[in-house]
Structure 1
Amino acid sequence: MAVLDDTSADAFWATSLRRWNAVCWVLFGAMAVGLVTAASPEASKYQALALLSCVVLCYAVLERFPGNALVRPHLYLSVLVLALGGLAWVGSSYAALFMVTLPHYWMFGRTPRASMGFLALATVATLAGSLVRLGWSAEFYGETLVSTLIVVAVGVLIGLWAHSVVAQSSERARLIAELERTQTELSAAHQRQGAADERERMARDIHDTLAQGFVSIIVLAEAARAGLPTDPARSAQQLRSIEFTARENLAEARELVASAHPGPGATAAGSVTRTLRRTLDRFKEDTGLTVEADLADLACDQRTRIALLRCTQESLANVRKHAHASTVGVVLVRRSHGVELEITDDGTGFVVEQSTGFGLDGMRKRLAELGGRLTVTSSVGDGTRVLAVVPTADGVAA
């Protein structure tokens, strides 16, 4: 069936046309039979049949060749208006044709203004034909004029209501489509953000583990090579430390690969104290610095334990590379508001606001993911104090 245009109202009108199509053909046939069997004069009968045939022919062409030409529906409505005026003039079944084709003005008019315009033309043509035939008689006023205006008024109300329903449906469909598009864009944005967060997490983990391990290996290797002729025992110890650090890096790499699919028990509690003590012993052995540790015996969930370990590793790495310190202090304590890890050194210090390294920013973000915070206090010549605070969770116990 004919499709009006490319708007969202097409589906409604196409469905209406398909349903009305069969009814129209039945009524057209009934009107043709009525005209043939009517007792009206032969000339009027043939004129009425000719006018009805023109309407039926245009309707058949419109149905068979919907096309995209905008003039076709309006051409059919124009022929319908002329045919109604002609039937009213000859006095043969114009009212029946008017009733049958009343929905067509709204189906093919495309807009309420065009529909009402053609309907007004059809009304004027019908009344003009009846007036020519009946004159200003009581029959014209009493039957034709009143009945025609009533039918037209009902048709206008029904048509405007239908267009209102279609407009609301179109707006609803537009809003639904816009909502679906927004949801799709939001989902894609979440995926991109998730991928960016995962890349940042991997970069932070690599910096805090593998990169620090490689730095330790390089420093130890340089020291072992330099001391090999004069202190072979010390160099051998450093080589063992290199081996241990390399194995540790390998384990860290495997853990990073497996972290994308954590297995059961990944959040199980464990002793952060033992972990930090091993790290401090290694640092003391590798650097020869004095390490003063006061570590409370705490058990934390895995995420908190890893965050505190990474903060310790990064702080010790900064001490090794930049501080030129002789003593490092580490304090781990449980407060009412959470766990505090304090790392201090007596090194050269630095201006915190001018720090551009990845390490401090990575520590801050890692702690922020747990609801914690990082405070760095330092000044040139006065050493550095790093304070990491993680809120108390169910997995933290004395």
Structure 2
Amino acid sequence: MPEHGPAATPAQTVSAPPEAPGRWFGLWDSYFAISYLVTATLLFSGSAEQPLETAVATAALTALVPWYAGVGRRLIFTERTGWRNVLFTTVLFGLFALATLVDLGSSFALFAVVPMIMMTLPTWPAISVSLVANLVPLLSVWLRQGRIDEQMLGVLPTTLLGIALSALMGLWISRVIRQSRERAALIEELRRNRERVARLSHEAGIAAERERLAREIHDTIAQNLTSVISLVEAAESEVADTDPRTKRLLTLAREAAAEGLAEARQFVVALTPPSLHAGSLGDAVRRRTDTLATQTGLTAVCELEGDEFPLPMAVRVVLLRVAQEAMANVQKHSGATRVEVTLTFEPHQVELAVVDDGRGFDASAAPGGYGLAGMRARVAEIGGVLTVTSAPEEGTMITVSVPVDDGGGAG
């Protein structure tokens, strides 16, 4: 065997991560081109002895160049399955075997052939084909000599080393490709999560602003218009029937204020959560609980205790949002199988409790996170208190208490 025998391991070039193949195509193209030029140089250096064999071997190796450029280049760094991968590897192996059987100097092309096989076939089929490729030079010597001689025995150690290095390289390339794909999947998941967080933050900001506007309209414009109507009605009762012009002007003022109050109330309804339009707070919470059970398969129970009475829109909105956020946390983080939502109406307060049997957490050590901080801020705006009770493997309970007066107004 000549000194350029069947080595089977290329330079330690890192396999390309699929998320940035363009970065690595140039490196592999250069490596394959250098391997081809070195092999062709070795062939031509011995062409004086066997010019016909050298020409055939060179033609077979040269055919590998357009075959790689036109077919193989599209297959590397992608999923290593499919009939195109098998076809490319079959033709690649055939051309290499032909060149090596004709001229043993072509065995140097293993430096390029083995990486191509490893990057276009699944791991174990690629290793198997690479092992067979390493045996081709040995077969070439045996066919030439027809017997086992010193030259064949000299090739054997190099062949065995090439087989071992091919197996190691195959495992290494497969591991790098797998890790690169996992990293690409994580990056893509991170990108999607960032987009989702941005979208949810935008939607939450819009919802919060809508709720703030609804509270402002309800607590200022609507209340002021109600006071105006009351004052006009009082003035109307004081005006004598003998002053029809003043009485008519007061009537017009009362009707205009009443119309403005009706429009303000419509704005408040339009700016509040749709789930509160069709019924009471208890109905809205129960619908959300039923939706959670349907979507996740959890056992979700909603209970109302006491006689439900009308609540200010701001209180209804906050309690509904807290219930939704708490149930969303149960779905995403707790690993629970059961969640209970209780809405309790007492003479001077309303209480919401969301209890799950999930994994829980150390409430005293936890930083709270944006979700809990946001819920606490909402509850504080209406004068309520939010309490979190949880321990590892003991589930979580979120309780909201809001003081109200006898008429259902916030205390």
TM-score of the two chains, using structure 2 as the length reference: 0.53
Contact 2:403 2:410 in 1 (8 A): yes
Q: Does 1:355 align with 2:366?
A: no
Partner residue, 1:35: 43
For residue 118 of structure 2, the aligned residue among 99, 106, 111 is: 106
| Aligned equivalents of 1:15, 1:386: Cα separation in 2 | 65
Partner residue, 2:128: 117
| Aligned equivalents of 2:103, 2:307: Cα separation in 1 | 98
Partner residue, 2:211: 200
Contact 2:118 2:126 in 1 (8 A): yes
Q: Does 1:375 align with 2:398?
A: no
Q: CA deviation at 1:22?
A: 3.2
CA deviations over 1:333-376 (Å, ceiling 9, x no partner): xxxxxxxxxxxxxxxxxxx9342253583698799324833534
For residue 154 of structure 2, the aligned residue among 143, 147, 167 is: 143
Seen in structure 2, the aligned counterparts of structure 1 residues 124 and 12 have a Cα distance that, compared at 3 Å, is farther
Contact 2:127 2:167 in 1 (8 A): yes
Q: Which has the higher contact order (CA 8 A, sep 6+)?
A: 2
Q: CA deviation at 1:195?
A: 1.2
For residue 30 of structure 2, the aligned residue among 22, 32, 49 is: 22
Partner residue, 1:188: 199
For residue 106 of structure 2, the aligned residue among 68, 79, 94 is: 94
SS at match of 1:93: helix
Tell me which amino acid in the other structure corresponds to 1:157.
Answer: L
Q: CA deviation at 1:185?
A: 0.6
Unaligned runs of 5+ in 1: 1-7, 254-351, 379-383, 389-398
Q: Within 5 A, what are the aligned runs for 1:250-265?
A: none
Contact 2:47 2:54 in 1 (8 A): no
Structure with the greater alpha carbon radius of gyration: 1
Task: Decide which moves more: 183-192 or 92-101.
Answer: 92-101
Unaligned runs of 5+ in 2: 1-15, 76-81, 265-305, 320-376, 385-401
Seen in structure 2, the aligned counterparts of structure 1 residues 50 and 364 have a Cα distance that, compared at 3 Å, is closer
| Aligned equivalents of 1:151, 1:193: Cα separation in 2 | 61
For residue 58 of structure 1, the aligned residue among 29, 53, 64 is: 64
For residue 132 of structure 1, the aligned residue among 143, 166, 171 is: 143
Partner residue, 1:333: none
Contact 2:312 2:408 in 1 (8 A): no
| Aligned equivalents of 1:189, 1:150: Cα separation in 2 | 58
Q: Does 1:82 align with 2:94?
A: yes
| Aligned equivalents of 2:30, 2:151: Cα separation in 1 | 33
Contact 2:18 2:181 in 1 (8 A): no
Q: CA deviation at 1:176?
A: 1.9
Q: CA deviation at 1:163?
A: 2.1
Q: CA deviation at 1:192?
A: 1.0
Partner residue, 2:178: 167
Q: CA deviation at 1:152?
A: 2.5
| Aligned equivalents of 1:106, 1:88: Cα separation in 2 | 20
Task: Decide which moves more: 218-227 or 67-76.
Answer: 67-76
Partner residue, 1:275: none
CA RMSD of aligned residues (A): 4.1
Tell me which amino acid in the other structure corresponds to 2:403.
Answer: T
Contact 1:48 1:92 in 2 (8 A): no
CA deviations over 1:139-197 (Å, ceiling 9, x no partner): 36522222112112112212321221221122122112212211221221122122112
Seen in structure 2, the aligned counterparts of structure 1 residues 140 and 37 have a Cα distance that, compared at 3 Å, is closer
| Aligned equivalents of 2:160, 2:21: Cα separation in 1 | 25
Contact 1:82 1:125 in 2 (8 A): no
| Aligned equivalents of 1:367, 1:127: Cα separation in 2 | 78
| Aligned equivalents of 1:127, 1:155: Cα separation in 2 | 16
| Aligned equivalents of 2:95, 2:316: Cα separation in 1 | 83
Contact 2:134 2:159 in 1 (8 A): yes
Seen in structure 2, the aligned counterparts of structure 1 residues 17 and 136 have a Cα distance that, compared at 3 Å, is farther
Seen in structure 2, the aligned counterparts of structure 1 residues 371 and 215 have a Cα distance that, compared at 3 Å, is closer
Q: CA deviation at 1:202?
A: 1.1
Task: Decide which moves more: 202-211 or 27-36.
Answer: 27-36
SS at match of 1:372: coil
| Aligned equivalents of 1:91, 1:226: Cα separation in 2 | 119
Contact 1:54 1:79 in 2 (8 A): no
| Aligned equivalents of 1:363, 1:40: Cα separation in 2 | 92
Contact 2:44 2:54 in 1 (8 A): no
Tell me which amino acid in the other structure corresponds to 1:169.
Answer: S
Task: Decide which moves more: 358-367 or 206-215.
Answer: 358-367
CA deviations over 1:40-98 (Å, ceiling 9, x no partner): 643xx322321331232232243156686866664453344234434444453033222
Task: Decide which moves more: 127-136 or 182-191.
Answer: 127-136
Contact 1:105 1:118 in 2 (8 A): yes
| Aligned equivalents of 2:53, 2:408: Cα separation in 1 | 107
TM-score of the two chains, using structure 1 as the length reference: 0.54
| Aligned equivalents of 1:95, 1:367: Cα separation in 2 | 74
